[in-house]
Amino acid sequence: MSFGVCYYPEHWPPARWTVDAQMMRAAGLTLVRIGEFAWANMEPAEGQYAWDWLDRAIETLAGAGLQLILGTPTATP
C-alpha cells in the first residue's frame, strides 16, 4: 500500500526540503504530491517561467526515495 502527503516546497526555504524529505521517509511515506497551487512560482511574470526551484524540489524528494505526483496548477493568477 502506498501512503502519501501533499507538500508545498514553495512555502519553505530550500534548505528545509532535505529535512522534510527525510522525515517523510521516516514516517513511512512513499508518495508526495506537489505543484498544484504553485503557478505563481512557475510563472512569476507573464511569459517568464521559473522551473529551477521545482527541479530542485523534485531532485530532493526523489533523492530521498519518494515518488512524486506533479499536480496540475489549478490556482492560476
Supply 22's cell numbers.
Answer: 527525510
Q: Which residues are registered as beta bridge partners of 31?
A: 4, 67
Number of structural domains the chain divides into: 1
49 belongs to a structural domain: yes
Provide the whole-model pTM.
0.89
Do the beta carbons of residue 65 and residue 25 sit within 8 Å?
yes
Q: What is the pLDDT of residue 25?
A: 98
Q: Is residue 76 assigned to a domain? A: no
In a domain, 27, yes or no: yes
Domain that holds residue 45: 4-70
Is 38 domain-assigned?
yes
Enclosing H/E stretch for 5: strand 4-6
Residue 23 lies in a domain: yes
77 lies in a domain?
Answer: no
pLDDT of residue 76: 57
Residues 6 or more apart in contact with residue 1 via CB below 8 angstroms:
none
Q: What are the pLDDT digits (tens) for 10-64?
A: 999 999 999 999 999 999 999 999 999 999 999 999 999 999 999 999 999 999 9
